[in-house]
Amino acid sequence: MIYYIGSLLLIAVGLYAVLVKSNLIKIIIGLNFISSGVNLLIISVGYINNGTAPIFSRLGLNPNTMVDPIPQALTLTAIVIDASELALAVAFVVLLYRHYKTLDIKKIRSLKW
Amino acid sequence: MIYVAWVLIIFMIALSILAIELKNLIAAVVAMGAVSLIISVLFLLLQAPDVAMAEASIGAALTMIIYVIGVRQTERREE
Amino acid sequence: MIRKVVYSIFLAIIVLSLVLFFAAFPFGKNKMTVGKYYIDHGVQQTGAANIVTSVVLDYRGFDTLGEVSVLFAAAAGVGVLLHMIGERRERKVKVPPNFVVRVGSRIVFPFILLFGVYIFVHGHLTPGGGFQGGSIIASGFLLLYLAYPNYKLKRGGLAAIEGLAGLTFVTLGLYGLLTPKVSFLYNFLPMGVFNTLVSAGILPIIYVAIGFKVASEFAGIIDDMICDVMCRGGEK
């Protein structure tokens, strides 16, 4: 249960950064927290008490106590995609800084709301 | 064993708030890397070693370096 | 200030409703439906000891192909964005790396490569696989960039490795269409002995291809960021 609460709080912290902060790097850090929190939430949904990892690395492992392999496969690919897209976002921030000479979204007029 | 998870999750939330509120952007990025490292330990506790390896090598190393390069090119401090 | 308070209340409502929602899925109980089938039949059907590998590469292999192409699109986007303006220049460093860093990185780098290759060759037996091993190799290249300011990756070779790896994946998938069981990514090679290195048919080959592809793409992203972003550091 503590895993659910922790990952939901991490998602909330990330959403707070995205909504309130005006620095572009802080906004991307918030996006990173949201994706990490979602990964943690999905993995913790698939956990079974006193379970073992879904790997038949030695004989005698009981298949009935293995944790769910599908959330692990989903988050494995999601982590790689997160990293590459955050690199793309950082590249956009660098280009915005070269053009506007600031990281504050209140001073970048076309991103004002 | 459950107390390890409690301590780690409390540390994780505290570090994430720190990463958002710090004015020095390099320090904020380092705190973010620490959050990723704690999350990889939590994946290991949840019996997901594959995901833990991916998170430790990608989330805590490569992502952090990409952010550091970006911050070094732009401003170091947030007003 | 008023905005922060409003957003905090809004987020508290969201988190509270999500906690109430997830109370319907009790933590630590067995909730598997499809996963149970994979655990029970995965060893006979795919021959891989690591069930996560068999889900990623066999049952949902088409998904992984799409994921690899998303990774390629992101890497290409970083390259296009950062090379849009101006030409590449030499990197300037304020403090040159000292003797210990240079020699130490040259000693450690082959071992990092070996560790990454070990991780993705044994992907179907132990935890690990193409994604983890590829990112470990890419972080090894990062060490070279740290130690040698004039180090530059050969982008032609990188592109060749990346293209060959992607081509291997797609060709193995298309060959499955020619077998009697007409299906994409059909495991046509023999299973071999369970829990040995040469087993599980085409799964190790695909994971090695994914490992090379992820390594070359992340190394390309790092090369783009360092050699284009850091070179302009003197402008401000």
- Whether chain C has a CB inside 8 Å of the CB on B58: the answer is yes
Those chains having 3 or more beta-carbon pairs within 8 angstroms of chain A are B, C
Q: What is the 8-class DSSP label of residue C26?
A: -
Q: How many domains does one find in chain A?
A: 1
Interface test with B, best of A3, A29, A80, A100 (most B CBs within 10 A): A29
Q: Is the residue at A57 inside a domain?
A: no
CA atoms in the 13 A half-sphere facing the CB of A30:
18
The model's pLDDT over C145-173, given as tens digits with 9 standing for 90+, comes to 888 877 777 778 888 888 898 888 888 88
Rounded Cα distance between C100 and A92, Å, is 36
pLDDT reported for residue C235: 44
* C82 confidence band (pLDDT: 50, 70, 90): confident
Among A89-103, B14-28, C190-204, the least confident range: C190-204
Query: Residue C122 pLDDT more than 80?
Result: yes
Task: Provide the ipTM.
Answer: 0.89
Q: Which DSSP category does C193 fall into?
A: S
Establish if C135 touches chain A: CB-CB under 8 angstroms: yes
The segment with the largest mean pLDDT, out of A4-13, A56-65, C91-100, is: A4-13
pLDDT at residue C234 is higher than 50: no
Q: Does A30 touch chain B (CB under 8 A)?
A: yes
Supply the range of the domain harboring residue A99: 2-52+63-111
Closest CA relative to residue B67, chosen from C14, C198, A103, C63: A103
Query: Which amino acid, residue A6?
Result: G
Torsional class of B48: left (φ above 0), alpha (ψ -120 to 50), beta (otherwise) = beta
CB-count exposure of residue B32 (10 Å: 0-12, 13-18, 19+): buried
Residue A95 has pLDDT above 90, yes or no: no
A93 contact residues in B (CB cutoff 8 A): 70, 74
Where is pLDDT greater, at A65 or C114? C114
Q: Give the closest-approach CA distance of A16 to chain B in angstroms.
A: 9
In tens, the pLDDT along A99-108 reads 888 888 777 7
* CB contact C196 to A (< 8 Å): no
CA separation for the pair A103, A91 (Å, rounded): 13
Q: Is the pLDDT of residue C111 over 90?
A: yes
Decide if B78 and A30 are in contact by the 8 Å CB cutoff. Answer: no
Higher-pLDDT residue of C178, A112? C178
What local confidence, expressed as pLDDT, does residue A31 receive?
92
Enumerate the residues of chain B whose CB falls inside 8 A of the CB of residue A82. 59, 63
- Write the DSSP symbol of residue C185: T
Name the H helices within chain A.
2-20, 24-45, 69-100
Query: Which two structure tokens, joined as six digits, stand for B9?
Result: 């999750």
Q: What is the pLDDT of residue A32?
A: 92
Q: What is the Cα–Cα distance from A82 to A85, expressed in whole angstroms?
A: 5
Confidence category of residue C114, pLDDT binned at 50, 70, 90: very high
Closest-CA residue of chain B to A20: B20
* pLDDT of C231 strictly over 60: no
Q: Is A47 contained in some domain?
A: yes
Record: contact A33-B32, CB cut-off 8 A: yes
Residue-averaged pLDDT of chain A? 85
How many other β-carbons are positioned within 10 Å of the β-carbon of residue B24? 12
Instruction: Return all residues near C160 (Cβ < 8 A) that are at least 6 apart.
Output: none
Neighbours of chain C (3+ CB pairs under 8 A): A, B
Chain B residues whose beta carbon lies within 8 Å of the beta carbon of residue C131: 54, 58
Task: Tell me what the pLDDT averaged over chain C comes to.
Answer: 82
Residue B15 contacts A where some CB pair is shorter than 8 Å: no
**Is any Cβ of chain B less than 8 angstroms from the Cβ of A76?**
yes
At A112 the pLDDT is 53
**Range with the poorest average pLDDT among B31-40, B52-61, C188-197, C207-216:** C188-197
Query: Any idea what the CATH number is for the domain that residue A13 is in?
Result: 1.10.287.3510
> Cβ C225–B72 below 8 Å, yes or no?
no
Residue C108: strand, helix, or coil: helix
pLDDT digits (tens, 9 = 90+) for C28-81: 777 778 888 888 887 777 778 888 888 888 888 888 888 888 988 988 888 888
Mean pLDDT of C105-119: 90
Low-confidence ranges of chain B (pLDDT < 70): 1, 79
Does this model's pTM top 0.90? My answer is no
